Amino acid sequence: MRDEFDAVIVGSGPNGLTAAAVLARAGRRVLVLEAAGTIGGGTRTDEALGTGIRRDVCSAVHPTGFASPAFAELELADHGLRWLVPDVSLGHVGAGEVVAIHRENADTAIELGSDAHRWESIVGYADDPHALAAQVLEMPDLPRHPVAMSRFAAAAVLPVDTLTRAFGGHRAAMAFAGIAAHAERPLSAPGSSAAGMLLGGLTVSGWPIAEGGSRAITDALAAIVVDHGGTIEMDCPVTELGQLPTDCDLFFDTSPEMILRLFGDRLPRRYARALRRFEYGGGACKVDFVLSEPIPWAVRPDVLARTATFHLADDVAQIRRTERDVAAGRVPERPWVLGGEPTRIDPTRAPEGTHLAWTYCHVPAGCEVDVSASIIAELERRAPGFSDTVVDSMVTTAADMQRHNANYVGGDINCGTSSLRQLVARPVLSPNPQVTGIPGVYLCSSATAPGGGVHGMSGYRAARAALRSRPGPR
């Protein structure tokens, strides 16, 4: 029965579904096989703890999805996706102060004072950051604006510690360090500024959430697949090649380990070596809170009510210590924390009188430790009385992450670290990093360029490569 298909996609994360949608629209007969009982991978929304509140299981905020050329081409809005774009992209909550990074550069300038000009020239790196970010997501294609791209790359390869020294004041430095540290790299590491440059630039176009939850992205992609005759099957973990047809293209929205396990000696030697050398990063421990009222921020609650994303760190040093500890395999004593209160921006997600906050912090790979006490302590420091608002909570340790999704090796939410080497060669240095060297077999997960985040670009590139190499349906 499976021989009826032109393409089989293993895994239904945003990359797998984007590949499936592009192929289905091009007339290919596609089958998506998903191991889990729900589709979406890192882009799922469930109902938190039976409360009727919609909880994003993994990804929550979507600057890269908003800027994604693949999502734009697929016109996800026509399939029900609605972005809600707060005017405050990010609130960095320090010790007794808040730095708000706005979509409007003029408003951010007021926050950053004497560093405003430097922030705009380094982080707000172009007249049109949205267009430049789209190019970064299209890497390794040749840039359309080489001068702007060269400026971007020159800063991106630097350690965060170097770029933060360029700021005279600590407010700009800690805001930048928090954005860059999404990549979970030591701040002294070359290339650790890359995420700061990409996501920092995108604060201008917006850090949106999807109305109703991140699942709306999955639903829109799946609708395109199904509308074009594709088939999606759940509870279908692929563990051996015998489960797949032989005479069709195969796309793996999986970890590189999966490719090595399935194809082993059939892979070209150079490619297999690259996959064996592929490095995963540290893990994340996520804690979701059902709240009786919004977080009672002590400082600037009005501003924090206007964003879907907050970072908690007293200063650059707290971020530096966290990332250094994680890299050394230690659970940070006082981690810096990423979080958001999506129900502030999207009231459709929660019944009246209930709220949800998600948080996570970086921990060593494979860590089984529940860090909720540390996260609550960081929240209490900045929002006294927070604990009294907590109705229920749910912890997902780094080890749980991998149990739920095989791509999150050791709890690495990006399926591969963003070391300087893997910024350039992910997983191989190639104009077509999704091509495995076995004809018709593609690796299309975030283990390939441009890397982690919900943007579908790896799937898009894999599908385009397949359409180029085998034009027209079989």
Ligand X SMILES: Cc1cc2nc3c(=O)[nH]c(=O)nc-3n(C[C@H](O)[C@H](O)[C@H](O)COP(=O)(O)OP(=O)(O)OC[C@H]3O[C@@H](n4cnc5c(N)ncnc54)[C@H](O)[C@@H]3O)c2cc1C
Of 5-13, 67-75, 384-392, 424-432, which segment contacts ligand X by CB under 6 A? 5-13
Minimum CB–partner distance for residue 281 and ligand X (Å): 12
Angle at 149 between CA 111 and CA 252, to 5 degrees: 100
Count of C-beta atoms within a 10 Å radius of residue 468: 9
Of 9-17, 22-30, 73-81, 290-298, which segment contacts ligand X by CB under 6 A? 9-17
Residues 402-431 that bind ligand X (CB under 6 A): 405-408, 413-414
Of 34-42, 75-83, 117-125, 171-179, which segment contacts ligand X by CB under 6 A? 34-42
129 preceded by a cis bond (ω within 30 of 0): no
Q: Write out the DSSP string of 120-170.
A: HHHTS-SS-HHHHHHHHHTTTSPPSSHHHHHHHHHHHTS-HHHHHHT-SSH
Total site size for ligand X, rule CB under 6 A: 40
Q: State yes or no: residue 10 binds ligand X (CB under 6 A).
A: yes
- Which residue do the tokens 């979701």 mark? 288
Residues 46-65 that bind ligand X (CB under 6 A): 58-62, 64
* Mask for 246-285, x = binds ligand X (CB under 6 A): -------xx---x-------------------------x-
Minimum CB–partner distance for residue 34 and ligand X (Å): 5
> What's the token pair of residue 274?
């690259």
Residues 311-370 that bind ligand X (CB under 6 A): 360
Q: Which helix (H) or strand (E) holds 17?
A: helix 14-25
Q: DSSP class of residue 89?
A: E
Q: State yes or no: residue 235 binds ligand X (CB under 6 A).
A: no
Of 23-31, 135-143, 385-393, 450-458, which segment contacts ligand X by CB under 6 A? 450-458
Query: Residue 8 forms beta bridges with which residues?
Result: 31, 250
Q: State yes or no: residue 234 binds ligand X (CB under 6 A).
A: no
Residues 6+ apart with CB under 8 A from 473: 6, 26, 27, 28, 29
Q: What CA–CA distances, in Å, run from 470 to 6, 68, 138, 263?
A: 10, 25, 22, 21
Q: Between 9 and 116, whose beta carbon lies closer to ligand X?
A: 9
Q: State yes or no: residue 41 binds ligand X (CB under 6 A).
A: yes
Distance in angstroms (rounded) separating the CA atoms of residues 232 and 417: 30
Among 22, 43, 91, 402, binds ligand X (CB under 6 A): 43
Binding residues (CB under 6 A) for ligand X: these are 10-16, 33-36, 41-43, 58-62, 64, 237-238, 253-254, 258, 284, 286, 360, 401, 405-408, 413-414, 445-446, 452-454
